[in-house]
Amino acid sequence: MNFVDEARLRVVAGDGGDGCCAFLREAYRPKGGPSGGDGGDGGNVYAIADEGENTLLDLRSRRAVKAERGENGRGKHQHGKKGSDVYLRVPVGTVFVDDETSRVVADMTEHAQVALLAGGGAGGRGNARFATATHQTPRRADPGTPGVQREVRLELRLLADAGLVGLPNAGKSSLLARVSAARPKIADYPFTTLAPVLGVVRWADEKTFVLADIPGLIEGAHQGHGLGDRFLRHIERTAVLVHLVDASGCSAEQAVEDFDTVQRELSAYTSDLAARPLLVVATKIDLPGSLEQFAELSRLLAERGHQAQAISAATGQGCRELMRAIGQVVDQRRARAAELRATLQQCSHA
């Protein structure tokens, strides 16, 4: 499995070069004065988001990323060369977190976005910088300052508009395969999906959204049980959650209990997920007895304030209506985001 969504890395910016202490000695200028050049600045370490990347696999085996040190200054007013910068290509959606402070250093949400991870040190001043009318032979030169070093944790959070959640074998992969060109693994045993899978859904003319299939959750997922919270981060950016409940394999009471279990895990992971717009969907409605089961399931869910929809990924029943409902919520989220950006731009120009 090549999907890797976590990595740890040490980023080391280059140190600044030292300033030089020198005096000019040449023909016809036996006392040419101070001529020490400045040291070059150290190189920076940048992250750049690349939509052509989709995993952190290449970075997982790397221990450190180091930028070049600035050159020292030299005599005859020769300044040192600046150290070369390093650009770290990562998938769109990667978050860099400082391991020591837990502070987010960079959140790469757009293609070609560039963020500074570690700034290089400043080059030291040569003694030529300190010459004055009253102090014409300074013997002072500053050393370069060290570059920033930090341990960072890389977390890949998929940029999906909607996320499918539910217990294992609830029908998430089957639904994604039905409504998009994605081809996730589908089988009749738990945890068939071992990594998030994305699919692009066209729900209206020239309107699409990205749907993510998240590996099944079980009780205690937020504490690491099952596949644990390893993949819950991938639905943090979604506009809407689609909770799939199997309407065929158990009683309506058990199905509602399963629904409550997953909702508790989402709330335990972060309260923001519990407040996210939610669509509840009963799956496998084509199987015998499922329609009768759905009627009772709908009643029990209505008591909790949720209106359930019924679909069958095998026959396509209800899938188009569900995608339209998801698309409308995503459109509203995008419109609000566009309004917010426009307001921020107006405030910045004011």
CATH code for the domain in which residue 53 is found: 2.70.210.12
Among 114, 139, 156, which residue terminates a domain?
156
Q: Lay out the sheet containing 45-49: strands in order across.
A: 86-90, 45-49, 114-118
Q: Are residues 9 and 67 in the same domain?
A: yes
Q: Are residues 29 and 144 in the same domain?
A: yes
Among 128, 156, 184, which residue terminates a domain?
156
Does 306 map to a domain? yes
What is the per-residue pLDDT for 272? 82
Q: Are residues 149 and 282 in the same domain?
A: no
Gap between the Cα atoms of 120 and 6, Å rounded: 26
Gap between the Cα atoms of 164 and 232, Å rounded: 11
Q: Are residues 150 and 179 in the same domain?
A: no
- At 223 the three-state DSSP class reads helix
One pLDDT digit (tens) per residue for the chain, 350 residues:
467 888 999 999 999 999 999 999 888 877 889 999 999 999 999 999 998 888 888 888 889 999 999 999 999 999 999 999 999 999 999 999 999 999 999 999 999 999 999 999 999 999 999 999 999 999 999 999 999 999 999 999 888 899 999 888 888 989 999 999 888 777 665 555 667 888 999 998 889 999 998 877 766 555 555 554 567 788 888 999 999 998 887 788 988 998 998 888 888 888 788 788 999 999 999 888 888 888 889 999 999 889 999 999 999 999 999 999 999 999 998 898 888 888 888 887 76
Gap between the Cα atoms of 329 and 161, Å rounded: 9
Q: Are residues 179 and 133 in the same domain?
A: no
Cβ contact 252:272 at 8 Å: no
What is the per-residue pLDDT for 270? 80
Check residue 295 and give left, alpha or beta (phi > 0: left; psi -120 to 50: alpha).
Answer: alpha
Q: Are residues 84 and 104 in the same domain?
A: yes
Q: Are residues 103 and 125 in the same domain?
A: yes
Residues near 81 by beta carbon (within 8 Å), at least 6 away in sequence: 40, 70, 71
Q: What is the pTM of this model?
A: 0.77
Alpha helices per DSSP H over 148-304: 172-179, 252-269, 271-274, 290-303
Q: Are residues 240 and 325 in the same domain?
A: yes
Among 98, 132, 156, which residue terminates a domain?
156
Q: Are residues 152 and 195 in the same domain?
A: no
Gap between the Cα atoms of 309 and 285, Å rounded: 10
Does 349 map to a domain? no
Residues of the domain holding 138: 1-156
Q: Are residues 192 and 337 in the same domain?
A: yes
* CATH, residue 210: 3.40.50.300
What DSSP letter does each residue of 42-111 carry, written as one string? PPPEEEEE-TT---SHHHHT--EEEPPPPPPPBTTTBPPPPPPPEEEEE-TTEEEEETTT--EEEE--ST
What is the per-residue pLDDT for 225? 52
Alpha helices per DSSP H over 151-242: 172-179
Give the distance from CA 81 to its chain's centroid. 35
Total structural domains within the chain: 2
Looking up tokens 């920076």 gives 44
Q: Are residues 137 and 207 in the same domain?
A: no
